[in-house]
Structure 1
Amino acid sequence: MRRDVFQAIADPVRRDIIELISKETLTVNDVAAKFNISRPAISKHIKILHECNIIQIQKEGRKRYCKIQPQHLVPAFLWIEQYKKLWEDRIDSFENYLTELQSKNNKNG
């Protein structure tokens, strides 16, 4: 199965793993200890992140370390960034509408 960055970030557990590993390199066991789900489930999430090139797995002896590969998150960032202006404009428009309603209510009240 072909995997990409969007599949990697689609799951909230994987987003949490990305956040953890972005702060420090952790072993798979260290990552698993931070969650209230099974070790096999965490291993599956880590495998998907690895297949998407979001994390690199480095073996040192019996330990497997997870290291973030932030450059592979860029496509998702760029895709989201293109909609930033659209959403900012819509939020500003909604804010103006609410201000207008509030102003009318204050005049009538």
Structure 2
Amino acid sequence: MDEVADAIADAVRREILESLRGTRLTAGEIAAKFEISRPAVSRHLRVLRECGLVHDELVGRQRFYVLDPAPLAEVAEWIARFDTAAAWTHRLDALETEVYRTRKAHRARPKDEQTKENTA
């Protein structure tokens, strides 16, 4: 996970990953998107390849780079542990269940008990 986190810590590498989302590109096509040198883009691609975020496919004489998002799953799971919305969803689901049970129990009681309770 640390290798992937280090790789995505760099803005250029994150932009490369965005560029590869849903498509495959050659190193030249990727380099054309940046104002940095081709060797610098090549070094970024090597980092992404080494941590498994991209892999290359040789097609004829061209090498295409393809995104492999699988290594991001572990990072995403780690980040999700800090997501308080997920904890609230769990709590609200539990509250909904308890409200349902209470209503069901209330409906199941005899009518005369419910009447006494409402007049008190």
Both structures adopt the same fold (TM-score exceeding 0.5)? yes
Paired letter, 1:68: L
Whole-Å separation in 1 of the counterparts to 2:3 and 2:21? 18
Q: Which runs of 4+ in 1 moved over 4 A?
A: none
Whole-Å separation in 2 of the counterparts to 1:23 and 1:33? 18
Whole-Å separation in 1 of the counterparts to 2:19 and 2:83? 25
Paired letter, 2:62: K
TM-score normalised by structure 1 residue count? 0.72
Q: Can you give the 5+ residue segments of structure 1 that lack an aligned partner in the other structure?
A: 90-109
1:1-109 equivalences under 5 Å are 4-85=3-84
SS at match of 2:56: strand
The structure that has the greater radius of gyration is 2
Paired letter, 2:19: L
Q: Can you give the 5+ residue segments of structure 2 that lack an aligned partner in the other structure?
A: 89-120
Could you tell me the percent identity over the aligned residues? 39
Note the alpha carbon deviations across 1:21-68, whole angstroms, 9 max, x for none: 013111111100111111000000000000000001111222110001
Residue pair 1:57, 1:65 contacting (<8 A) in 2 also: yes
Whole-Å separation in 1 of the counterparts to 2:14 and 2:22? 13
Whole-Å separation in 2 of the counterparts to 1:41 and 1:80? 29
Whole-Å separation in 1 of the counterparts to 2:22 and 2:16? 10
Whole-Å separation in 1 of the counterparts to 2:35 and 2:82? 34
The alpha carbon displacement at 1:20 in A equals 0.6
